[in-house]
A and B are shown apart, each in its own frame.
Chain A
């Protein structure tokens, strides 16, 4: 039996990443659940959740790498798709609270009771069903990407124009979600979740379950992305990145390729958001803020774009750095992040992966 699917035959980085992820997925549950808390080898549930959060960020970075690294579309609004997926999941979790809310209303979430709303807005219907919520997790970001991408790519909005327009999109959504009238909890967002599919969200077992679900989602998404970039479509997409006009003259419908890749990427981002929310226990409009979307682009840039595994490595590294710095020296973090932006674009255009590759090539000669 093969250890890795044939998709990864030419993907050494991918195989390393898969192997590591597999090992982590075996070790984490053991260290968290089987090793007693008194042992120094015990892994706290906080750490498990943190790792799970990183994995969702890695999935998000993967979705950005797919369009930026392979198609040259720099989206500064991917956080919006992530947040929309998160909101869809949050709405499901809100409906699961039921009568356990502060006001004990059987249907309405607390914030609606607080705002004196009489009944559930129509767009909240169906979210009590898990399958419906999961459908929406993919459908809402996908549809938004479809409409937005159709409008943008059709009129050939490219380069920095597209970047800023996507940033305006997420900015507009942030302003909209801050409004109480929108019916998504306004400033406070959605929080105070109790359980998912009947499992208590606070229990160790559930946390491990969501961690594993994130790992599986990341693995499947990685394989799907690898499949796409290795397919014929992937080659056309790379051609679009390198010479858009030439590809168009060769008779390819450039807009179609860009559009479907963009939609797929948005769906991945939505799934990442849906996995993120139950782990951190809150979703609020701050997730839409433009700085989040730009930050995730730098994860990809640090790791090395156009490699898929580079994006994952970058997301894990930068977020580990963020966790460390914001706890140890909060004032330094923004300096560090800012410098990271400058140094990576200036000296490491291919990211850490590119650096390692160059070292490897030098060693081989």
Chain B
């Protein structure tokens, strides 16, 4: 009997409840709307009550409404007393319903009346918004709220943080809250609490922690501590030291990253040159212009698909490879193959080609720089800790450069074209005798090297200005990389590019950007004295060619 009765009760309850569910939701909406309307009251004391009530509804939109109130964007329409959030346009306001977010078009300034607040309410609002944000479902929102609170810590904020700490599950947010509480505790009248707060802040990378601690650690002229308590000051000094050493480490990591990023740019620019120079012994002075063509291809691809900018790069990479590669083959077939054995003449002829390509871009597209946009996934940065952030575009280009390097290495080591290329670069006459069509290999190598220059142009378009002159600045740098690393050795190019990039970035703080560049150039000139064939010279007979 019993189980049957229980089941019937549940069923009955369910049937009874069923129609009321949507009605409950509607009612909640109505409640929220009423809570928003309650903000229209005249007295500030009543407004304070209304704010708390609004926050207690637990509705997601309450944060937006309260923030609007805080910055003076919450109005009511004089005609129908409707509460609206307004964004100022040129003359008029663009308004939407405060409770539902439904857009209501634009309206004149005179038709709206602002909900006024005073300083006391402002403070209350900030606290309420922070409390709501700290309870938000998204950890990123909670994190931002903690950071916002750290800027302006008072007793109320400290209490809020403590309350949030009890609920918080996310490790990173907990860490931030702990730092926030410790920062607040630094003002505590109790020396023991202050001391614990200092210990908690040891190793924290927050700029606020560093500022507060250095204030505590300051010494007077006679060497005594300026703070009221000697032990706290001592601890603060210790904590500060650990922070400084951690910061130094982060700065080092940042410099290395910037260096590697510059190195990846150099690698992309130099790697195509490395194979053409390594295999054919000719310097292609138009190499920089092939990079430029790649960058302009990116620009044109983006023009052609303005609605799919996020995918444009994936189209631009093969397109740029083809465009630059075809130009490269045309240069090889039209000019360079007639000049073999005369490297200096090749250098001059390709320089002439670089002038022609520059002028071609200037007359057909524009003499000005063009705007190449970054896809959304390339912008922004990855925050590793408060002192170290890595921008996505640099990170992706570093990865991309390494991928291109690996792909090229695979082509040279694993394909029959690669085998033939290596054979021709080591001993042209012998390779010919073995039946390799060296002219065909030359054309393909040149096309490959040029195509990679075009791909480099796609990457560079995401970092620097795209203009007709952009290629010129890379030819000397890339040649330096090739010479430094050793001709016809891709690993040498990799090591050369990365070490030159890092060296450049390490010299910059001491010497300034321009002087750092000069120093690197001078270094390479001296380096060639010692090792005329680069870091990784070719050994054996091939080296004598």
B372 smallest CB distance to A (angstroms) = 24
Can you list, as one digit per residue, whether each of A163-176 has a CB less than 8 Å from chain B (1) or not (0)? Answer: 11101110110011
Please determine whether B353 and A338 come into contact, CB atoms closer than 8 angstroms: yes
In contact, A342 and B353 (Cβ under 8 angstroms) = yes
Chain B residue at minimal CB-CB distance from A165: B525
CA distance A198 to B210 in the complex (A): 65
Assess whether A134 is interfacial by the CB under 8 Å rule.
Answer: no
Residues of A within 8 A of B363 (CB): 331
Asked if B10 is at the interface (CB within 8 A of a chain A CB), the reply is no
Quick check: is A337 within 8 A (CB to CB) of the other chain? yes
Q: Does B354 contact A (CB under 8 A)?
A: yes
Q: Is B104 an interface residue (CB 8 A)?
A: no
CA of A54 to CA of B362, assembled, Å:
29
CB neighbors of A among B338-354 (8 A): 338-339, 342-349, 351-354
Residues of A within 8 A of B268 (CB): none
Q: How far, in Å, is B449 (CB) from chain A's closest CB?
A: 16
Contacts of A151 in B (CB 8 A): 525-526, 529
Interface residues on A, range: 35 or more
Q: Flag whether B524 is at the interface (Cβ < 8 A).
A: yes
Contact A334 B480 (CB under 8 A): no
CB-based contact B356/A338 at 8 Å: yes
Cβ distance A343 to chain B, nearest Cβ, rounded Å:
8
Kindly identify which residue among A301, A334, A345 contacts B358, using a CB–CB cutoff of 8 Å: A334
The reply to whether A349 and B345 contact each other, CB–CB distance below 8 Å, is: yes
In Å, the complex CA distance between A197 and B521 comes to 39
Q: Is the CB of A346 within 8 A of B338?
A: yes
Q: Is the CB of A297 within 8 A of B348?
A: yes
Residue from A169, A290, A338 in contact with B359 in the complex, judged by beta carbons closer than 8 Å: A338
CA distance A298 to B524 in the complex (A): 27
A341 partner, pick from B355, B518, B528, B532, beta carbons under 8 A = B355
B-contacting residues, A166-189, CB 8 Å: 167-169, 171-172, 175-176, 178-179
* A335 at interface by CB-CB < 8 Å: yes
Q: CB-CB contacts of A337-361 with B at 8 A, as 1s and 0s?
A: 1111110111001000000000000
With a CB–CB cut-off of 8 A, which chain B residues contact A337? Answer: 352, 355
For the complex, is B483 an interface residue (Cβ under 8 Å from A)? yes
Chain B nearest CB, measured from A299 CB (Å): 12
Q: Is B476 an interface residue (CB 8 A)?
A: yes
| CB-CB nearest in chain A for B512 | A179
* A74, A159, A161, A337: residue with the most chain B Cβ atoms closer than 10 Å: A161
Q: Of B355, B359, B524, which contacts A331 at CB under 8 A?
A: B359
Contact A345 B349 (CB under 8 A): yes
A346 touches B529 (CB 8 A): no
CB contact between B354 and one of A331, A338, A344 (< 8 Å): that residue = A338
* CB-based contact B349/A342 at 8 Å: yes
Residue picked from B347, B349, B515, B526, most chain A C-beta under 10 Å? B347
Q: How far is the CA of A300 from the CA of B335 in the complex (A)?
A: 20
Contacts of A163 in B (CB 8 A): 283, 344, 347
Identify A345's interface contact among B348, B476, B480, B517, CB under 8 A.
Answer: B348
In the assembled complex, B514 has its CB within 8 A of some CB on chain A: yes
Q: Is there contact, CB below 8 Å, between B345 and A157?
A: no
Determine whether A160 belongs to the interface, using a CB cutoff of 8 Å to chain B: yes
Instruction: Quote the shortest CB–CB distance from B448 to chain A (angstroms).
Output: 20
The answer on a CB contact under 8 Å between B348 and A341 is yes
Residues of A within 8 A of B514 (CB): 175-176, 178-179
How long is the Cα–Cα vector from A176 to B514 in the complex, in angstroms?
7
Q: What's the nearest-Cβ distance from chain A to residue B438, in Å?
A: 20
Structural contact, A338 and B480, CB atoms closer than 8 A: no
> Closest residue to B344 on the A side, CB-wise?
A74
In addition to A160-B344, A175-B514, 6 A-B residue pairs with Cβ atoms within 8 Å of each other are A148-B525, A155-B530, A171-B521, A172-B522, A176-B518, A339-B352
The 4 A-B pairs of least Cβ separation, nearest first, read A341-B352, A338-B355, A338-B356, A334-B359
**B residues lining the A interface (CB < 8 Å):** 281-283, 335, 338-339, 342-349, 351-356, 358-359, 362-363, 472, 476, 479-480, 483, 514-515, 517-518, 521-522, 524-526, 528-530, 532
Which residues in A have some Cβ–Cβ distance to B below 8 Å? 74, 148, 151-152, 154-157, 159-161, 163-165, 167-169, 171-172, 175-176, 178-179, 290-291, 294, 297-298, 301, 331, 334-335, 337-342, 344-346, 349
